[in-house]
Each structure stands twice: as structure tokens, then as C-alpha cells.
């Protein structure tokens, strides 16, 4: 962030006024130590008097009651019930439908179960015609094991963990195609738990969009934006670029937008850093002019010398800047950069200060009077800078605390 370059009045007639306000001990000056300010950078009733009122309900019990209330709204199925439905599927007793897979295999099932579990399969059953007392539904393009796992889930929500992971993409497609939201949630959860990689994220993204899984789609987009360089070189990206250029353009726009937001955050962070430095400089200047610090301070204060280190971060550099300003022979705009920063710092203080009667910062009243003579351009810049520096105070509780200790 580059802080605005602001011109400040620096009449030579005020030089003695500034220098005469301090008691400065001689110390070798190091220009590198100068602080770079302003530069680019409820009631109840009883029916019987004989019955005492019950004691108040403890907070813990109340919390537990709320917990039990939530539990009562849920449905818990015993393992025995799940086993019964799983057994019904595996033994296929009384089955009246065959699910046919790509390889010609058939899975016997019950039409009543399919109709309840999947409205899409139920509609298919209504439209199908029975042959020799059986109906047939074909599910093409999916391996037998994936179809078996899918139908088993419709019966009992049971499945083998390894089978679910192995056929999760097929199951995601089946859950969407045959409208089984409970299975879709399980598939999305499995994919979120480390299943997605740089090599398959583009494919999963396209599948997530086709299967109406917005959360999964968002996760994939974030992963692509975060590691765009590596993912854009994968085979999945190259295929997507060829068959779905619109999606590629959309992802590129996401990447550009993310980079812009990152740059904006960095810019605001740097701006905030500068305003914090300026506010710390304001605190340090007031501290030096009112209490003195180490080798510099007002005439009516004794030097602190080598006492406990100062709690103001900007104090050391500001001491050097004040010492230089009091002895510099140039002291004109454009002549000495250090002096120019000191004039700007003094004017910034004068615009923030509301204590005209007892302020000990040199030239504070004088600079307030000089504000009337400034151009409209300067008057447009200073209020904005002042508001930013004052706003920085809200993020500097410890600094404000340090200032109160010196009051």
C-alpha cells in the first residue's frame, strides 16, 4: 500500500518553537532508525396450600430434556430389523421382479419394496408387463456388483464398506437417476472423505453437476481453484477442455476471481498495516511530548535513560526523527525527506487532536490554524487519512491500554 503523499506547511519561524519544547540529550544519529511515517509503503400457582412448590429444574436437567426431545424426533431402527430386511433381499422369498444387469445377470426383488423405496422404479413397474408372472427391469451401463449394492441399500440401507467405496460413483449416478436421496447423501459423504484427488476431481465435478450434488460440486471447484496449476495438467482436465469448453471457461473465471480476491485481501492487509503504524506513531509522539522517553522528552521531565524498555513500538524511530528535525538546517518541503515526514506527522496529529488547551505536542495549535489556508485537494485527502488512522485504533486495544498508563 502506498500512503498518500501529503504536503504540510513548514514555516521556518516555528523552528525555534519546536526545538524549545524538548530536552534532548546528545546521541549519535542513525538515519536508518527513523520511523518511516507517511511514506509509500414465568409464574405458577398451586391448587392446595398443603403441597409445597417443587424446586426449580436444574439447568443440566433442562439441557438433557432438550436433548431427549431432539432424540425423540429421530427414528432408530434396531439391528434385528435391518437384518430381517437384508435377509429378505438375499433370500428373495416371494420375489416378483427381476433386475437385469449389463452382463445378463438377474437379481430377484419385490415390487412393493422397489415402489416404496424409489418412485422412479415404481413408475417403471407400473408401465412394465408381466411375463410368466414376473416383471423385468433392466439397468444398463452399471456393473452387476454396483446394482446389487444399490438394490440391497433400498431394502435395508446395509452395504459393505469396501463395495460402497469401490462403486461410489456408480451409486451416485443410480441414486440420482432413481431418486434415492438417502443413498446420494451417503455417496457424497464418502467422496468428501479424501476420495477426491487431483487426477479425478474434474470428473467428479462433472458428475456432481449432472447428479445435482451442489455441495460436492462446490468442494471440487474449491479444490481446482486452490491447486489449479497441477490439476490443469491432468488428463481429466484435457478431456474436459475438449468435450466441455464452457465448463473450462467457467473454471478459469473462478480462478481469476479467486486471484483477484486474494490480491484485494493482501492490499487491504498492507493498507491496514500502514494505518496501524501511523496510529502507533501518533501514540508514540504524544508519549514523547508528554512524558519523555529514554533520551528525549519535554523540558519539565527528567530523562528515563536506560530504564525499562518503552512499550510503544514506534518510539525508537520517532525519537531519532524528532532529534533530526530539531537540528536539521534544511527543513523545507522537498528539501529533506525526514523533515517532510515529521511535518506530515505533526499535521496528522493536529487534525486528530481535540485537546487544544493542554496538548503538549509542538505546533499543534499553529497547524490547526494553517488548515484554513490549504487547497481543496489537500483538504480532500487529509480527512480520509484521518478517518483511516482513527479506525485503526479499534484494532489496537493493547496500544490504547499503554497510553492510559502514561496518563
91: which 3 cell numbers? 433370500
pLDDT of residue 343: 81
More confident residue, 69 or 55: 55
Q: Which residues of 309-341 are buried (b: 16+ CB within 10 A; e: fewer)?
A: ebbbbbbbbbbbbbbbbbeeeebeeeebebbbb
For residue range 389-399, what is the model confidence (pLDDT) as tens digits?
A: 777 776 655 44
DSSP-derived secondary structure for 18-58: HHTTEEE------GGGS--TTS-------S-TTSPPPPPPP
For residue range 329-354, what is the model confidence (pLDDT) as tens digits?
A: 775 655 687 788 888 888 788 888 87
More confident residue, 253 or 294: 253
Instruction: Average the pLDDT over 255-274 and give the result.
Output: 84
More confident residue, 19 or 246: 246
pLDDT of residue 169: 93
pLDDT of residue 55: 60
Instruction: Report how far residue 164's alpha carbon sits from residue 185's, in angstroms, rounded to the nearest whole number.
Output: 12
Instruction: Report how far residue 20's alpha carbon sits from residue 104's, in angstroms, rounded to the nearest whole number.
Output: 103
Query: Could you identify the residue written with the cell 469401490?
Result: 166
- The pLDDT confidence band at residue 255, using thresholds 50, 70 and 90, is confident
Distance between start and end Cα atoms, the chain: 33
pLDDT of residue 176: 93
Instruction: Report how far residue 356's alpha carbon sits from residue 277's, in angstroms, rounded to the nearest whole number.
Output: 24
**Cβ contacts of 251 within 8 Å, gap of 6 or more:** 221, 224, 225
- 403 pLDDT exceeds 60? no
For residue range 85-113, what is the model confidence (pLDDT) as tens digits?
A: 888 888 888 888 999 998 889 999 999 99
Instruction: Report how far residue 278's alpha carbon sits from residue 55's, in angstroms, rounded to the nearest whole number.
Output: 60
Instruction: Average the pLDDT over 246-260 and give the result.
Output: 86
More confident residue, 302 or 217: 217
Closest CA to 112 of 126, 100, 101: 126
Cβ pair 288, 315 in contact under 8 A = yes
Q: Classify 72 as helix, strand or coil.
A: helix
Which domains are assigned to the chain? 268-300+311-397 (1.20.1020.10)
For residue range 119-157, what is the model confidence (pLDDT) as tens digits?
A: 999 898 888 887 777 888 899 889 999 999 999 999 988
pLDDT of residue 144: 93
pLDDT of residue 30: 62
pLDDT of residue 181: 92
pLDDT of residue 306: 55
Amino acid at each position: 500500500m502506498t500512503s498518500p503523499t501529503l504536503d504540510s506547511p513548514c514555516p521556518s519561524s516555528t523552528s525555534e518553537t519546536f526545538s524549545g519544547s524538548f530536552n534532548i540529550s546528545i546521541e549519535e544519529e542513525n538515519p536508518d532508525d527513523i520511523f518511516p511515517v507517511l511514506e509509500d509503503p414465568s409464574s405458577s400457582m398451586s391448587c392446595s396450600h398443603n403441597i409445597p412448590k417443587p424446586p426449580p429444574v436444574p439447568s443440566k436437567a433442562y439441557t438433557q430434556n432438550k436433548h431427549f426431545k431432539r432424540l425423540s424426533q429421530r427414528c432408530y431402527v434396531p439391528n434385528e430389523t435391518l437384518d430381517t430386511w437384508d435377509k429378505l433381499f438375499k433370500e428373495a422369498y416371494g420375489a416378483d421382479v427381476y433386475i437385469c444387469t449389463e452382463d445378463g445377470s438377474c437379481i430377484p426383488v419385490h415390487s412393493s419394496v422397489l415402489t416404496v423405496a424409489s418412485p422412479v422404479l415404481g413408475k417403471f413397474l407400473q408401465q412394465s408387463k408381466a411375463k410368466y408372472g414376473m416383471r423385468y427391469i433392466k439397468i444398463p451401463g452399471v456393473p452387476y456388483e454396483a446394482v446389487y449394492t444399490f438394490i440391497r441399500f433400498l431394502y435395508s440401507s446395509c452395504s459393505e464398506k469396501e463395495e460402497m467405496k469401490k462403486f461410489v460413483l456408480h451409486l451416485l449416478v443410480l441414486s440420482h437417476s432413481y431418486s434415492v436421496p438417502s443413498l446420494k447423501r451417503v455417496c457424497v459423504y464418502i467422496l468428501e472423505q479424501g476420495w477426491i484427488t487431483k487426477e479425478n476431481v474434474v470428473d467428479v465435478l462433472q458428475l456432481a453437476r449432472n447428479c445435482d450434488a451442489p455441495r460436492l460440486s462446490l468442494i471440487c471447484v474449491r479444490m481446482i481453484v486452490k491447486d489449479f496449476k497441477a490439476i490443469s495438467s491432468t488428463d481429466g482436465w484435457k478431456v474436459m477442455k475438449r468435450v466441455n469448453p464452457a465448463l473450462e471457461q467457467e473454471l478459469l473465471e473462478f480462478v481469476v476471481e479467486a486471484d483477484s480476491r486474494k490480491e484485494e485481501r493482501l492490499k487491504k492487509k498492507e493498507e491496514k498495516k500502514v494505518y496501524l503504524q501511523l496510529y502507533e506513531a501518533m501514540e508514540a509522539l504524544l508519549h514523547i511530548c508528554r512524558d519523555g522517553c529514554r533520551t528525549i522528552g519535554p523540558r519539565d521531565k527528567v530523562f528515563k535513560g536506560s530504564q525499562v524498555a518503552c512499550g510503544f513500538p514506534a518510539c525508537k524511530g520517532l525519537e531519532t526523527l524528532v532529534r533530526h528535525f530539531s537540528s536539521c538546517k534544511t527543513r523545507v518541503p522537498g528539501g529533506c525527506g525526514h523533515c517532510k515526514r515529521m511535518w506530515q506527522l505533526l499535521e496528522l496529529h493536529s487534525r486528530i487532536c481535540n485537546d487544544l488547551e493542554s496538548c503538549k505536542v509542538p505546533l499543534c495549535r499553529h497547524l490547526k490554524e494553517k488548515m484554513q489556508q490549504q487547497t481543496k485537494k489537500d483538504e480532500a485527502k487529509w480527512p480520509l487519512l484521518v478517518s483511516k488512522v482513527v479506525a485503526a485504533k479499534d484494532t489496537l486495544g493493547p496500544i490504547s491500554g499503554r497510553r492510559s498508563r502514561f496518563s
